[in-house]
Structure 1
């Protein structure tokens, strides 16, 4: 099982860097748009579209990394109040989160297939196939769901064999 978990961690790290690159591209595109619009009086027609696409890529490429690192939103008032049942409640919450993410991924897989088979494109100035964007959403929710499963069942969160205690709050 360890090689599969390590492969998931490596893929997550790679996608995290893709998300960081997309965020850097957003900054550069916005800077270019501002200079083009206000210094040269020639706004671009494509900048807003690319920023939207890249923002989606940033969010869903980095979400599994954040889940892995415990950076997801966690409301822990109930687990904090119950003392020794804390781990049980947290793990149950992780199972619910995993089920929700994996269900969403299942729906997205069907949507990717549907969009690809129909050749549906975005309704923007810069038209791209919609399935590409939905594929990033699918990756983000599916891989986050798998990390929530790892949290629920106490699997190590990193490539090392250490198993940190599940504490988020």
Structure 2
């Protein structure tokens, strides 16, 4: 059983790292879209209808999908002063408590997001802007998917915690 859990943690870590690094392309695309809008708007007096919505969608996608990568790397915001004050043993227990609380919170959030995400798949929602894109539909589903990634990576981190194979979890979060 220990090997199966370790294999799950290895696979989930690999998926989180791959998706997280792939999301960097979305940030570069957002920079390109924003730069294009600046040149079109101020250089040619021809602003676009789509650039702002696309840039927001690209950044939101990268942010939501990279949650597994950030969790796998233990790079969420934390109070590192506490880590110094309480010592390594107590901090290790604090990390477990944090992962359990986060898992419960994200499971609750996922349950709240499931119905709206499923609803928009049967009836597409539009943004109501000049572009009138399907951004609300896309983002509702994407946030739910991001929550699932987060839960799966938190479970992998809990497995690593229990097996004492976490790697570097020191300050600098």
- Give yes or no for TM over 0.5: yes
Q: Segments of 4+ in structure 1 off by > 3 A? A: none
User: Are residues 13 and 112 of structure 1, via their aligned partners in 2, closer, same or farther at CA, if it must alter by over 3 Å?
Assistant: same
User: Are residues 6 and 152 of structure 1, via their aligned partners in 2, closer, same or farther at CA, if it must alter by over 3 Å?
Assistant: closer
State whether structure 2 residue 37 is matched by structure 1 residue 33.
yes
**How many angstroms apart in 2 are the aligned matches of 1:90 and 1:107?**
26
**How many angstroms apart in 1 are the aligned matches of 2:75 and 2:163?**
17
* Structure ranking higher on relative contact order (CA contacts 8 Å, 6+ apart): 2
1:161 equivalent in structure 2: none
The alignment of Structure 1 onto Structure 2 pairs a total of residues equal to 161
Q: Structure 1 stretches of 5 or more lacking a match?
A: 158-163
State whether structure 2 residue 85 is matched by structure 1 residue 81.
yes
State whether structure 2 residue 152 is matched by structure 1 residue 134.
no
Q: Normalised by the size of structure 1, how large is the TM-score?
A: 0.76
Q: Secondary structure at the match of 2:84?
A: helix
**Structure 1 counterpart of 2:71, from 67, 71, 95:** 67
Q: Secondary structure at the match of 2:37?
A: helix
**How many angstroms apart in 1 are the aligned matches of 2:76 and 2:162?**
17
**How many angstroms apart in 2 are the aligned matches of 1:165 and 1:20?**
23
How far the C-alpha of 1:49 sits from its partner, in A, is 0.8
Residue deviations 1:71-111 (CA, integer Å, cap 9, x gap): 2212132331233xx33334323422442244224422441
What does 1:1-169 align with in structure 2 at a 5 Å threshold? 1-83=5-87, 86-118=88-120, 119=123, 121-123=125-127, 124=129, 125=131, 126-128=133-135, 129=137, 130-146=139-155, 148-150=157-159, 152-153=161-162, 155-157=164-166, 164=167, 166-169=169-172
How far the C-alpha of 1:19 sits from its partner, in A, is 1.3
Q: Structure 2 stretches of 5 or more lacking a match?
A: none
Q: Normalised by the size of structure 2, how large is the TM-score?
A: 0.75
